[in-house]
Amino acid sequence: MLSILSQCSFAKKIRGSMKITGIILAGGKGKRFLEVSGKIPKILFKINQKPLIDYSFDLFVESKLVDNIIVNIGYQAPEIISHVKGSGYDIDISFSKQTRFTIFNAINQALKRKECGEIIVLCSADEIRPNLHIDNALKWHMVNPNIATIIGVRNNRMLDYPLLECDKQMRVVRYLPSFNGTVTKNHFIHSGVLIFNRDIGKAFRLITDDWLSLTIPLIETGSSRLFYEVGGDYFNVGTKSEYEEVLRSLNLQS
């Protein structure tokens, strides 16, 4: 078996000169979280003494493959820019600004940036993903570049989230906004991380304000497969109850 370093070298050889860019969606208003965060921008609200957005930065800073990061901003942009610039991350970081409060607009504004690479790793800034390592999925994606790769996880809270259903080849065939049946080995939680080659972004279309504008077109065209990150977990931090679940499950402090 190849060492982690050897695997990363192999992945770099496959990708050739292609640049890998991480995009963090950090422009939302977080209206449902105001009762917790108050006047503080949601993604700067601290969980375990750490601003929420920094959990997403960890995905990219720990990567040996990601070359740069674009942070998409909108609501309370000056505060977010100030925090990011003052964090001292040892990676190239730039900003794009959304003109409408939709995921579709946010990703398109980031993709227009000249520093945006050929391979994109997209995530939202308001989620925590314990034990999730994007390099594993990136290496898998580089061998299957003509599809989008959704990183999926499994946990004991499967019915608390919308689920993705996959076939035997791990192609994503169905989005289940609610599910009351028996969870099988073919069901996964979307970790909020999507990897795709830039050209595939042309398939996205405005359906709703959220991730469905990306997820549904990929499913409809058979263009997405799921990479299961064994041991990875996922927490959305959108409401007070979800925030309390994070603290309870991870034994964290606010």
13 located within any domain: no
1 located within any domain: no
Q: State the residue range of the domain holding 125.
A: 18-250
The pLDDT value recorded for residue 252 is: 60
12 located within any domain: no
121 located within any domain: yes
Q: What is the pLDDT along the chain (254 residues), one digit of tens a residue?
A: 444 445 455 555 556 678 999 999 998 776 777 666 677 888 898 888 899 999 999 999 999 999 999 999 998 899 999 999 999 899 999 999 999 989 999 999 999 999 999 999 999 999 999 999 999 999 999 987 778 999 999 998 888 899 999 999 999 999 999 888 889 999 999 999 999 999 898 899 999 888 999 999 999 999 999 999 999 999 988 888 888 888 888 876 55
Single-letter code of the amino acid located at 167? D
242 located within any domain: yes
pTM for this prediction: 0.90
Q: How many domains does the chain have?
A: 1
7 located within any domain: no
Could you tell me the CATH number of the domain that includes residue 94?
A: 3.90.550.10
206 located within any domain: yes
CB environment 9-34: b (16+ within 10 A), e (fewer): eebbeebeeeebbbbbbbbbebeebe
Q: Which of 190, 195, 196 is nearest to 153 (CA)?
A: 190
Rounded Cα distance, 233 and 192, in Å = 11
If residue 24 lies in a helix (H) or strand (E), which one and from where to where? strand 20-25
Rounded Cα distance, 14 and 58, in Å = 24
* Local structure of 166: helix, strand or coil: strand
Handedness of CA 202, 205, 210, 211 (dihedral sign): negative
Inter-residue contact 147 to 136 (CB < 8 Å): no
Q: Are strands 20-25 and 119-124 parallel, antiparallel or unpaired?
A: parallel
4 located within any domain: no
Look at the block and give the residue holding tokens 């190849």: 2
Inter-residue contact 43 to 33 (CB < 8 Å): no
